[in-house]
Amino acid sequence: MSLIESLPRVRSLRMPRADGLIAWIVPLVIILIWQVACVTGFVSARVLPAPSDVALAGWKLLLSGELVRNIWVSFWRASVGFLIGGSIGFAFGLANGLSQLSSRLTDTTLQMVRNIPHLALIPLVILWFGIDESAKLFLVALGVFFPIYLNTLHGIRTVDPHLIEMGRIYGMTDGELFRRVIFPGALPSIFVGLRFALGIMWLTLIVAETIAASSGLGYMAMQAREFMLIDVVVLSILIYALLGKLADSASRALERLTLSWHPAFQKH
């Protein structure tokens, strides 16, 4: 039997609570193997510290307050940069999706700028802003802008024209048409942009913080490298992974909440 055929049965068997736990089996097994490999000396502590050592380093940093401060700084930069870039991207996506004039005026320019890798601007950004907060915010906002812009635009342009005509026939005003037809129709695509943007947000921040910062997780990792504290370096990487996962889960939850009408999100 093919996998597809066996899927529905697997679904009906699973328990709702076990579902969340099952995803953690593989990471836990990896950590376990890692620990055993380090304790038995199969892997040298100078190459990779044992998970227990990493946890210990984390605990020390937590007690000193350094960890919380750095996480908070990174989190703040990520969210503020995301909000700025995301809302500008969303606004341009809406404007260019809804207005021919606006689209003809700005779309070509934006498509051109899109082809410049935003991380290539780092030297320029450092010249402009120094290693100030604004440098990081600028880079994150720029990185987040494009996926949100492109997917909002795409979502609005691909709303079923039959539905728009239906809305007009039934006397919807422009505002109602947007609220009841265009925006909900574009939402799945906007969420795709959102999740892309979240990935780019962390990536940009890591790079920006390792190159030009005096606080934050990336800075913490760079400092640790200079003092050969490999456990702290590994700790920073793990925290990035966790934060990325957290952002992704949050956007998924939001998606499930707002797209409950979508066949892909319906419970069977």
Which one, 252 or 262, has the nearer CB to another protein? 262
- The dihedrals phi and psi of 174, each to the nearest 5 degrees, come to -55, -40
Does 155 help bind another protein (rule: CB under 8 A)? no
Calpha distance 34→68 (Å, rounded):
26
Does 171 help bind another protein (rule: CB under 8 A)? yes
CB of 254 to another protein, least distance (A): 15
Does 170 help bind another protein (rule: CB under 8 A)? yes
Pair 217, 240: CB distance under 8 Å: yes
Given the rule CB under 8 A, which of 86-94, 140-148, 217-225, 254-262 is the region that contacts another protein?
254-262
CB of 161 to another protein, least distance (A): 10
Helices (H) and strands (E) in the chain, counts: 13, 0
3-state secondary structure of 158: coil
95, 135, 181, 247: which one binds another protein (CB under 8 A): 181
How many chain residues bind another protein (CB under 8 A)? 20
For 266, residues 6+ apart whose C-beta sits below 8 A from its C-beta are 260
| Full DSSP string of 168-188 | HHTT--HHHHIIIIIHHHHHH
Q: What DSSP character marks residue 260? A: T
32, 39, 166, 241: which one binds another protein (CB under 8 A): 166
Binding site for another protein (CB under 8 A): 162-163, 165-167, 169-172, 180-181, 184-185, 187, 259-263, 266
